[in-house]
Structure 1
């Protein structure tokens, strides 16, 4: 950890706790800042705030009072989940106070080489693959960000000569000022989180921010099949390494139909890759680009791709029962992710879908439902999902209360040779606190089937 002096004796307000807020508060306190923490949950119900109070950190709980801004803070560190429309955050910006997220802190103290991964879909798979490839090459690597431990916590233990692979959301990237990974990856860009961002343009700009501070010595690995994305990063100073699943590239990463090739060099035969689905080819190419740029051998890359079958909650194989295969794709929180999952299977599929209603349509999902024999719908979007399934010609549509009931219903309609796929196309927050909880409930219910 670098003994960074930039926050010493500065008056800093941390808004919002949870894992990132606690980690940021403790780090800033260690770095000599005068920290005040503000969280909406009352102190009596707030174990995180009580922990910080015990450390001598000032805590204000129960609401986000705008009057706090009159105390002359020099910096705001915002929990990524708090929108910029929050009156306290809006007020800070209006007063010209810088508002950052904790990944900025991680950047300032990190001795390790930072590899940043963002995009609408595929972040977790790509991040995991890069980490596994580096580790398999007998090099030390840590994963951080959305995939696990808070980045500014990991940065305190990752040393020089090691890698820190960070999964980054648009929420986090909107709050960076100097953050600059030496290798950055943008897997793809599609409509998502428009309930948080004011527009699609703001969302795209937030993703593209991963490269805004990179220099000529840094690398940007980016999806060349998306014109909108390529346009968004056209002013980058980083060296661009494009990848494509649709065309052969003389420079960059693509496929010649039999192998994945980088800059003319065959890295791995397609037949040797275990991870299913065309959408995962994007993730694999991005990971190969990052790993080879970092100095990982082809042998280590091939070993990982020959064994890696997916991450938890992302088209995760759970069990085979009576010749029926069950897959957990709870991380599919948007239409595109569910389309990708459906297109990975060529057999009759029982689709379990539904969740938080963000007001969007699911019409685009219909084109990918040709193999869906039954749709089992739940959550706030159950009726919308039913209409989409009907428009796709799905004859058997069952409405249930939740994921557990959906598994029971699926076990009744699935027959030998079918796939049962939980791929909700929605966030989980109408019924479950996270997509992980939703996926774990699915796994538990499937494993109880007899």
Structure 2
């Protein structure tokens, strides 16, 4: 008899799971409390997968053998309370995809910041080396869709804490933990310890034959490691001091020492600039070395990689003013990294839906580097209150065109206009991609 598989949420991960489930002989039903995009409805129809939108049929859902839950559905929701009460097994889409890809190698990357960049850079290393790799997860196609439609030998998977919350057997060959800073705490009872533990689930099933790659400079990571055992082979990386094994800096050179094979690249030759990208480059380079990719291929990739759209993306230069789109920066820590990497005076465009941000972390950097802040959002009061004493100019705007015009008006030749909002985008935009695209369009109209 077919197992009843219910998929809650019909975004990219839900549809990918539905396709994989159908392909593997499950009785699949998709349920979404909101509207499902037309393109996804067509896919479900073509594949004869029944679905509902705008509601959840409790009787059908609670009768499932197994549920795959969208990362966006919180445990506190009425739906999940009922599911847990009935004790229906719940897994995430990455857990389901992993079930059918155990013959491949999996490199999983998590962290509060830099996941997408490191995932793309790691994928680029594997591709440059001529390996049959796929970049999946929160970036590109869902892991399950890739397994269903175009299986690969190597999966480079960007994973969030929400996805890790619902794994059971997911066991990456290489797990990378970049950093842990406060984010999404509303989903973790506002307890940092819960969020940290969630991130560390990436390594929970690993054994000595696997690798756990982590940043020694992150106090949350090192604090957790003092009280918990990791069973895989650990490879640290740092920019603070030389190491015998791992990634480190000496004389402005990035060193990657894995399997007794030293590899050195000048930090000035790296394609991605800024302190945070030293970490990202080290992590990606270590991942490549654990899979015995040749040093020349890793070096080639690290020095020629093009950054991702909306992530410290250079847009253009207008009358000597550089414009950079960092719309993906949806928390204060991302903005801190962006400002830290700036070498010229900055006109900063920021704001949006404030997730309870603590702007005190960037006050010193704002004072040192920012000549004007252009607020872009419905409620800019928290930014005004926290940063007005640290920069001479703060202006309110309510749309992207006005924000870009105001920023350009306060910029001089040699300055940088940086869109790095530190906030979610939903007050004025569909998502961070829409915000970034509108920024680029407004810049082109100058």
Q: Does 2:304 match 1:307?
A: yes
Gaps of 5+ in 1: 1-7
Matched, 1:261 2:255: yes
- Mapping of residues 129-140 of structure 1, within 5 Å: 129-140=121-132
TM-score by length of 2: 0.93
Q: 1:252 aligns with which of 237, 246, 250?
A: 246
2:192 counterpart residue number: 200
Partner secondary structure for residue 6 of structure 2: strand
SS in 2 for 1:306: helix
After superposition, where does 1:329-408 map in structure 2 within 5 Å? 329-369=326-366, 370-392=368-390, 394-408=391-405
| 2:210 equivalent in structure 1 | 218
Task: Choose from 270, 276, 284 the match for 1:287.
Answer: 284
Aligned counterparts of 1:326 and 1:314: Cα–Cα separation in 2: 12
How many pairs were matched up?
438
Q: Are 2:8 and 2:32, in contact at CA under 8 Å, matched by a contact in 1?
A: yes
Give per-residue Cα distances to partners, 1:367-397, cap 9 Å, x unaligned. Answer: 21121001000114412112222132x1111
- Post-superposition Cα deviations, 1:317-342, rounded to whole Å, max 9, x if no partner, equal 11011111000011111101101101
Aligned to 1:272: 269
Q: Name the counterpart of 1:186.
A: 177
Counterpart for residue 156 of structure 2: 165
Question: 1:9–1:34: 8 Å Cα contact kept in structure 2?
Answer: yes
Q: Is the 8 A contact 2:253 2:264 kept in 1?
A: yes
Q: Give the C-alpha shift of residue 123 in structure 1.
A: 0.5
Of 112, 115, 119, which aligns to 2:111?
A: 119
Give, in whole Å, the separation in 2 of the partners of 1:323 and 1:243. 37
Matched, 1:56 2:48: yes
Q: Hey, what's the Cα distance between the residues in 2 that align with 1:85 and 1:49?
A: 27
* Cα distance per residue 1:342-384 (max 9 Å; x no partner): 1111221100000112233322221211210010001144121
Name the counterpart of 2:135.
143
Local SS of the residue matching 1:103:
helix
Inter-partner Cα distance in structure 2 for 1:163 and 1:47:
28
SS in 2 for 1:248: coil
1:444 is displaced (CA, Å) by: 1.3
Alignment of 1:8-47 (within 5 A): 9-41=2-34
Residue 226 of structure 1, CA deviation: 2.1
Deviation at 1:306, TM superposition (A): 1.8
Q: C-alpha separation between the residues in 1 aligned to 2:77 and 2:142?
A: 23
1:291-312 deviations in Å (ceiling 9; x for gaps): 1111122211221222224221
Whether the 8 Å contact between 2:125 and 2:301 is mirrored in structure 1 is yes
Whole-angstrom distance in 1 between the partners of 2:193 and 2:379: 26
- Aligned residue for 2:444? 447
Distance 1:231 1:213 in 2: 20
Change (3 A) 1:398 1:262: same
CA change 1:86–1:319 in 2 (3 A) is same
Q: Deviations over 1:250-272 (max 9, x none)?
A: 22211112322233724212232
**Cα distance per residue 1:31-59 (max 9 Å; x no partner):** 1112222111368x866346425543332
Q: Tell me, in whole angstroms, the C-alpha distance in 1 between the residues paired with 2:275 and 2:250.
A: 15
In 2, the alpha carbon distance for the partners of 1:275 and 1:309 equals 8
Distance 1:137 1:51, change over 3 A: closer
Superposed CA deviations along residues 141-182 of structure 1, whole A, max 9, x for unmatched, are 21011111111111235556x211011111111111111111
In structure 1, C-alpha distance between the alignment counterparts of 2:304 and 2:47, rounded to whole Å:
45
Instruction: Output the CA distance in 2 between the equivalents of 1:49 and 1:306.
Output: 42
Correspondence for 1:5 = none
Secondary structure at the residue paired with 1:301? helix
Residues 118, 280 of structure 2: 8 Å contact kept: yes
- Residue of structure 1 equivalent to 2:75: 84
- How large is the RMSD of aligned CA atoms in angstroms? 1.9
- CA offset digits 1:107-156 (Å, max 9, x no partner): 11124211100000011111111111111122222101111111111123
Structure-2 change in CA distance of 1:251 and 1:42 (3 Å): closer
Name the CA distance, whole Å, in 2 between partners of 1:76 and 1:339.
38
Contact 1:222 1:230 in 2 (8 A): no
